[in-house]
Structure 1
Amino acid sequence: MARERIAIIGAGPSGMAALRAFESAERAGAEIPEVIAFEKQDDWGGQWNFDWRSGIDQYGEPVHSSMYRNLWSNGPKEALEFAEYTFDEHFGRPISSYPPREVLWDYIDGRVRTTNVKDKVRFSTAVRWVEHHEDRDIFTVTVEDLKNHQTTSSEFDRVIVATGHFSFPHVPEFQGIETFPGTLHHAHDFRGAEKLADQRVLLIGASYSAEDIGVQAFKMGARSVTMSYRSGPMGYDWPEGMEELPLLERFEGATVSFSNGETREFDAVILCTGYLHKYPFLPSDLALQSGNTIYPAGLYRGVVWQGSPKVYYLGAQDQWFTFNMFDAQAWYVRDLIMGRAELPTAAERTEHLQDWHQRFQGVGGDADAVRFQAEYIRDLIGATDYPMFDLVEVVRIFLAWKDDKKKNILTYRDKPYRSVMTGSLAAEHHTTWLQELDDSLERYLSTPEETDVEKAVRGVDTPDAPAPGNVRGEETPTA
């Protein structure tokens, strides 16, 4: 009997988790299906694969990544750490709790760097269409080799959708926005805050993109940063020069009016207004249609498409947990495909969906949401051989992280946490986040010489050291 053929669409962290799950089983001596992953970028890593381009890539395709320069993890790495490949194992020593983008890319790449997993990925290949033949219960997947301009189709027994849902921006309309004379774009196209120096910046939104781009702009010397919220403010103790205002009502050139009657003038506007679940390669009967929620409707155990249970989604949820949740999902999907886990009947899956949806309706705030997702992950891991880890402690880390941000939105990234996998305490980075302007892997892992300014702050006499002052990037202000 021929081996099943599995198509994985996307080779970001979710697709890489699926590849790792199959590789793990093969390494343990199991015979695995034929697995082929399609990735339209030239390398894997998804959002963590930085591309300076915005809008359209070198092949004329929509740019997938929303990554920007100087992005550092905005949550403790201890909450996303792989249970079967730790940061200590990868770097050979503890590192800080909030690494920059290149360090995290190196970590997820390093887990499979010494395996043959990359041979299973067809890079620079865009999936154009997936057709389900119900009479034979197979799928025709049509792809385009973007480098060679060749379109081919082949048949697969199952499809894993691992493209994520943070690539197609949601762009609302605002009265008069077409009259704004400054720079205007969505957070998806934001590539760095350096150009916002001395600019009056408006961020429309009140979630993680607005928060992080806002403090990035402040760090890089923006003259002012205003964040406009719809349902409620983030409510941090913002430093001088940052503020939150309720939803804007209209633009009149550079002047923006807000619903509380106040007006401001701006030089730059960034829409931090979220993303759409959009799968242009799927027919409507296979495509998930959902808002950004931690429990999307139509996915049994968050991964199996109820309408066609040989279609699976990884990473389709709103996320507190990330890399380790993708692993839990990937290991469970692998076991369903390999017959190690039994798929219930459609009626039983519906009952399970309704039960979990009812539990989700009881989620009352962030703390409840984190605990809900932790229990979701516990449920998945319990059905596989993925290593269980201390989910209760990870929840505690998440809640402590939120408290850290409330205390000081500019310094929370300087705090170390303890790994739930190894027990080791994170190192303190050699430079505070507010002072660190180099996010390279080389700089991060180095031990730079202490500058005269740093010595002066410590009270060490130096020949021509300037007196410490309230200069952004030289001394960390208190929020």
Structure 2
Amino acid sequence: MEPILHVKNVAVIGAGPAGLAAIKYLKAENYFDRIVAFDQRDEVGGVWNYTGAVSESNQPDFTIPRTKPAGVVERPSTTISATGEEKRVFTSPIYDSLETNIPHTLMNYSDKKFPQDCPLFPPFAVVKQYLEEYASEIKEFLKLGTQIIEVQPIQEEGEKVTRWKVTYIDLATSIRSTEIFDAIVCASGHYSDPFIPHIPGISEFNDNHPNVISHSKYYRKPEEFANKRVIVIGHSASGIDISSQISAVAAHVIISEKEKPAAIHMETDSITYRPEISEFIHENRTVRFVDGHIESDIDSIIFCTGYQYSFPFLKGLNPPAITTGERTKYTYQQIFYFPQPTITFLTLPQRIIPFPVAEAQSAYIARVFSGRLTLPTFADMQAWEDGVVAEKGDGKFYHNLQFPQDAAYINMLHEISMSAEVIESRGLVNRGHGKIPPFWDEEARWTRQRFPMIKQAALNLGEERRNVRCLRDLGFDFETWKQEQQVEKEPSTPLALSKDDSTIHVRTEIMISDDAA
């Protein structure tokens, strides 16, 4: 494909972790006339903005079941604050005691570390403060309290390039405006639109027993489930944490999952495992499981079943990027909407470390939009996606980049970005190479491979885990591990990156100045 040379104005949709990274890499190109990041919230941080208790009944677009992504945005949703004053609140999945399940030494941006005195697995408030500090240098690019209503492709008469008409509403004044941008970066995330599967009887059950069925997005604290019989459906990160918290106060917790989770190493009087639910029966608040077992008098059912991909402001895309909500279609390298590659997406992949992935993707996008990198042909990008579909299917696993794939992905994007044209005359740092995206060395991959064990070791400490400041406090020391490998004179087993990691060499060696990270 020919270089993209017409992009001078870029709209970033979202000022959460991904959107902030996008601004920094776009800014670093010293090329664009205007960069604007829109966010419907009044503060940066995206989902890391805690919203307190918000009932599903206050969410007019929440349905049970919920198997299709949200429709076109018509008006901003609002809730009422605790003081009774109307306030723009966009529900976040952050709950009261949430802390990261990723060590901050792996989670952080490449150019900013977390405070030395914060816990290794920081609580959400620390992450929110971290993001506010990260955004302090780019506030002039932010347009907060502004909701994107629609993004439409347009083509002026006589022009060959597609531009984008962005319609948005100022939530403070309710004034609608329209602007034209040359390119779009969608950084609105995918932890907003809950997924609740259709199970026989679920609609009738919900009609007869409103507020019994919920989603992890609306969970806030275990005390709400004291002395109740609760079913938690799903046992990924949120399911594990929520079921563990609730079991301490509930009369009984049943974890429902297709296969018995390895994390349930023992069952007690207060917590048991059952397979999938096959039927909801509204009489006596009853559910039947696929093994035939029946449980009645259930007080609460929490679906920890994840979220759908949903970009309701992109209804003008043809072909549509979102159909079933299981994945985002036509996305080369999980980033570029290749039918019209001036629209891009950040952090679509699942099972990743989002901050460094957002950086790596943003570096690639910024270099393409500034003309320093070119994309493959449409046919090649289509062939790339076809290959992923052939390998992973056309559903929710398309975006799965579980380790070691995420490490290979970050390093691949690093190599691509560092191959961009060097333009010192533009004032780019690092001798014209520009802002350096993250690269995961052996220690980072070693940590990534072990972080489930690291998290479990922290949880085993109970409340004392909040005093853990580094991996060594939990008995994980990369340097000691390396030395043990050498002493034993056994070759260190390479940490696999991908089936084909022939393009992942050593890190591009560049003298990095203080302003380049």
* Same fold per superposition (TM over 0.5): yes
1:166-188 CA-to-partner distances (Å, cap 9, x unmatched) read 10111223315224466331112
Question: Is the Cα–Cα contact under 8 Å of residues 190 and 309 in structure 2 kept in the other structure?
Answer: yes
Structure 2 unaligned regions, length at least 5: 60-76, 80-85, 418-434, 475-517
1:203 and 2:235 are equivalent in the alignment: no
Q: 2:444 aligns with which of 394, 399, 402?
A: 394
Residue type of the alignment partner of 1:138: R
Residue type of the alignment partner of 1:150: I
Residue type of the alignment partner of 2:280: R
User: What pairs up with 1:83-122 in 2 under 5 angstroms?
Assistant: 83-87=110-114, 91=115, 93-113=116-136, 115=137, 117-122=138-143
Q: What is the alpha-carbon distance in structure 1 between the residues aligned to residue 251 and residue 339 of structure 2?
A: 52
- Aligned twin of 1:32: 32
Q: 1:250 aligns with which of 280, 284, 304?
A: 280
1:173 and 2:201 are equivalent in the alignment: no
Q: What is the alpha-carbon distance in structure 2 between the residues aligned to residue 182 and residue 354 of structure 1?
A: 42
Please give the secondary structure, in 2, of the residue aligned with 1:327. helix
User: What pairs up with 1:278-427 in 2 under 5 angstroms?
Assistant: 278-283=310-315, 284-285=317-318, 287-289=320-322, 297-355=329-387, 369-384=402-417, 385-403=435-453, 411=461, 425=471
**Structure 1 residues 408 and 48, CA, compared in 2 at 3 Å: closer, same or farther?**
closer
**Structure 1 residues 186 and 237, CA, compared in 2 at 3 Å: closer, same or farther?**
same
1:311-330 CA-to-partner distances (Å, cap 9, x unmatched) read 00001121321111111111
- Aligned twin of 1:457: none
Question: Is the Cα–Cα contact under 8 Å of residues 417 and 426 in structure 1 kept in the other structure?
Answer: no
TM-score between the two structures when normalised by the length of structure 2: 0.71
Question: Is the Cα–Cα contact under 8 Å of residues 98 and 413 in structure 1 kept in the other structure?
Answer: no
1:128 and 2:149 are equivalent in the alignment: yes
Alpha-carbon offset, residue 390 of structure 1: 3.0
Alpha-carbon offset, residue 270 of structure 1: 1.1
1:68-122 CA-to-partner distances (Å, cap 9, x unmatched) read 11111123223322122112xxx2x253221110011111222232x1x122111
- Aligned twin of 1:214: 243
Q: What is the alpha-carbon distance in structure 1 between the residues aligned to residue 35 and residue 215 of structure 2?
A: 35
- Aligned twin of 2:500: none
Question: Is the Cα–Cα contact under 8 Å of residues 48 and 105 in structure 1 kept in the other structure?
Answer: yes
Question: Is the Cα–Cα contact under 8 Å of residues 97 and 427 in structure 1 kept in the other structure?
Answer: no
1:296-353 CA-to-partner distances (Å, cap 9, x unmatched) read 5421121110111000000112132111111111111111111222222212323443
Question: Is the Cα–Cα contact under 8 Å of residues 233 and 304 in structure 2 kept in the other structure?
Answer: yes
Residue type of the alignment partner of 1:250: F
1:148 and 2:178 are equivalent in the alignment: no
1:272 and 2:322 are equivalent in the alignment: no
1:196-245 CA-to-partner distances (Å, cap 9, x unmatched) read 222222112232221121122235x2222211113553542246322221
Alpha-carbon offset, residue 46 of structure 1: 0.8
**Structure 1 residues 260 and 413, CA, compared in 2 at 3 Å: closer, same or farther?**
farther
Q: What is the alpha-carbon distance in structure 2 between the residues aligned to residue 328 and residue 2 of structure 1?
A: 23
- The share of aligned pairs that are identical, in percent, is 24
Residue type of the alignment partner of 1:99: P
Structure 1 unaligned regions, length at least 5: 429-479
Question: Is the Cα–Cα contact under 8 Å of residues 267 and 273 in structure 2 kept in the other structure?
Answer: no
Residue type of the alignment partner of 2:218: D
Residue type of the alignment partner of 1:145: D
1:382-437 CA-to-partner distances (Å, cap 9, x unmatched) read 12342443354334334323345678966589669999xxxx64668xxxxxxxxx
> What's the RMSD between the two structures over aligned residues?
3.3
Alpha-carbon offset, residue 354 of structure 1: 4.1
Q: What is the alpha-carbon distance in structure 2 between the residues aligned to residue 312 and residue 257 of structure 1?
A: 43
1:126-162 CA-to-partner distances (Å, cap 9, x unmatched) read 1111110145411110001111010011110001111
Q: What is the alpha-carbon distance in structure 2 between the residues aligned to residue 102 and residue 229 of structure 1?
A: 31
Question: Is the Cα–Cα contact under 8 Å of residues 404 and 412 in structure 1 kept in the other structure?
Answer: no
Q: What is the alpha-carbon distance in structure 2 between the residues aligned to residue 416 and residue 292 of structure 1?
A: 37
Question: Is the Cα–Cα contact under 8 Å of residues 80 and 322 in structure 1 kept in the other structure?
Answer: yes
Please give the secondary structure, in 1, of the residue aligned with 2:126. helix
User: What pairs up with 1:462-473 in 2 under 5 angstroms?
Assistant: none
